[in-house]
Amino acid sequence: MPANLLDDMETEVGSERKEFHWTLNFGPQHPATHTTLRLILELDGERIVKATPDIGYLHSGFEKLGEHLNFNQYVTIVDRKNYISPPMNEVAWHHAVEKLLDIELTKRCQYIRVIIGELARISDHLLCVGAAALDLGAFTAFLFCFNQRELIYNVYEEMSGYRFHPGYTRVGGVMQDFNDRVIGRIRTVLAGLPKALSDLEKLVLRNRIFLDRVRGIGVLTKEDAISLCCTGPLARASGVIYDIRKDEPYLAYPDFDFQVPYATEGDSYARFQVRLEEIYQSMGIVKQAIENLPSGPVNVPIAEKFPLPDKGTSYNSMEGLIQHFELIMPNRGMESPVNEVYAAIESPNGELGYYIVSDGSQTAWRTRTRPPSFIHFQVFPHIIKDHLIADIVAVLGSINIIAAELDR
C-alpha cells in the first residue's frame, strides 16, 4: 500500500477502489494445480475479488484427431483425456459408437464394462480425495489412497497388459475376456478397500484442520449448479440429484442394487463426502457384478461385422481371418449410418458424453466430447469469489479438475 494513503486509513481500507487491488498469477506450474492450469487472481489483501482462469496449455487437438482415427483406434486417445480413470472414457466412447452402430452388447461384456468403469470411479474418487488432503497438508491420506490405486492398476495390467492407459474396450466388445487372474486381482482390490477407506476417513474426516479448511468453503447453490451446467458429484453435492446410471440406465446398471449419494450443503466438504460415499456404492456394484458375472461370449458374434476377432479366431478360422482383414485394411472397414448421435454415461466427474457425426465410414466426421472438467472449471471463478488465497487449493481439489480433459 502506498505510504501516503496510510493517513486516511479509516475511509480507504476495505473500499472497492481498484488501486488497492493487486494481481497474482497462480500457475501454470504450481504444486497444487497438479497439472497445467493458470489462474489470474485479482486480490484485495488476501481476499479474492476476481479469479480468471486461463486454460489451453495442454490442448492437443484430441477432437481433431478423432476425425482421423477410426472407432477402434480412437480409444487410445480417449484414455488420455481423463487419465485418472481411463476405462471410464473408453466405456463412454464405445457406448456412443455402439449407439451409432446399433450394437447390442452381450451380457458378459456389459458386466465387464460395468466392473472396469466402477473400478475407474473408485480410483478417480480416491485420487480426488487423497490429493485434496495432500494439498491441505495431510500427506498420509494421499499415500493410503495411492496404495489402493496401485491395486486397481494391477487389475488393468492383468486384463489388458497396460497399467495406465488400458485401451481395453473395442467396438462390440473388449480386447480380451476376463480370466481368473483378473477376477482374483479384483477381489484383492475389494478386500483391501474397506480398511483403506476407514483409515482415510479417520485421517481426513476427523481432522480438525481439514474440516476447518473445507467446511463452508466454495459453496455452490443448487440454482447456480443448474445454471452452470454442472453434473456428477459436483451437482449432487449441491442437491441436483441426477445420476445417469440410475435415471437413464445403460449397460447392466438396472441389475445392481446401489444408492445415489447426495448432499445439499454444496460446499467442498459435501463434495468430498459424496465422493467418499460413491466409493462405497461402487464397491457394492463391483462386488455384485463379480459374483454374478454371466458366462458366454464377451464380444458380439463376428457375423455382425463389427468386432475385431481375437487372435485365436483370426489365425484359426476362415471367417475370423476374413473379418480381421475387412476391418484392418485401410480401404475397407465397418460401415456406419450417415447420421449423428449424442450418448452420455455417468463418469466419476459427471456426464461424459460424445456427439458423434458419422459420414458412413469407420472414422467419425466429428467427435465432440462433453468434458465434465471443462464445464466444471467455469464454476470455479463463481465459487471462489470472496474467499482467501489458501482456499483455492481446497476448492480446486474438491471440483477435481483434470487438465488433460479440460484442454483436450
Partner 1 sequence: MTEAATTATDPHAQTLATLTRTLGDGAFSTSEFRDNTRVYLSPDQLIPALTTLRDECGFSLLEVGGTDYLAYPGRDKAKPRFEVHYALLNRDTHERLILKVGVSDPDPTIPSAVPLWMGAGWMEREVFDMYGIKFAGHPDLRRILMPEEFAAFPLRKDYPLRGRGERHNFPRLTRDES
Residue 269 and residue 211 in contact, taking contact as beta carbons nearer than 8 Å: yes
The C-alpha angle 309, 314, 320, rounded to 5 degrees, equals 70
Q: How many residues contact partner 1, by CB under 8 A?
A: 47
| Calpha distance 285→266 (Å, rounded) | 26
Considering just the CA atoms, what is the radius of gyration of the chain in Å?
23
Which helix (H) or strand (E) is 350 found in, with range?
A: strand 350-358
- Report if residue 389 touches partner 1, rule: CB under 8 A: no
65 or 205, CB closer to partner 1? 65
Three cell numbers written together for 405: 480433459
Name the minimum Å distance from CB 53 to partner 1: 9
- Report if residue 21 touches partner 1, rule: CB under 8 A: no
Touching partner 1, residues 332-371 (CB under 8 A): 337-342, 344, 351, 353, 355, 357, 359-360, 365-366, 368, 370
15 or 60, CB closer to partner 1? 60
| Calpha distance 230→240 (Å, rounded) | 9
Burial (CB < 10 A; 0-12, 13-18, 19+), residue 121, is buried
| Calpha distance 304→12 (Å, rounded) | 75
- Report if residue 181 touches partner 1, rule: CB under 8 A: no
Three cell numbers written together for 394: 481446497
Residue pointed to by grid coordinates 492450469: 37
Name the minimum Å distance from CB 300 to partner 1: 17
**Contact map string, positions 265 to 304, toward partner 1, x by CB under 8 A:** ----------------------------------------
CA 242 to mean position of chain CA atoms: 16
Touching partner 1, residues 197-236 (CB under 8 A): 224, 226-231
Touching partner 1, residues 48-107 (CB under 8 A): 55-56, 59, 61, 63-65, 67-68, 99-100, 102
**Where does this chain bind partner 1 (CB under 8 A)?**
55-56, 59, 61, 63-65, 67-68, 99-100, 102, 224, 226-231, 240, 242, 247-248, 337-342, 344, 351, 353, 355, 357, 359-360, 365-366, 368, 370, 374-375, 377-378, 382, 407-408
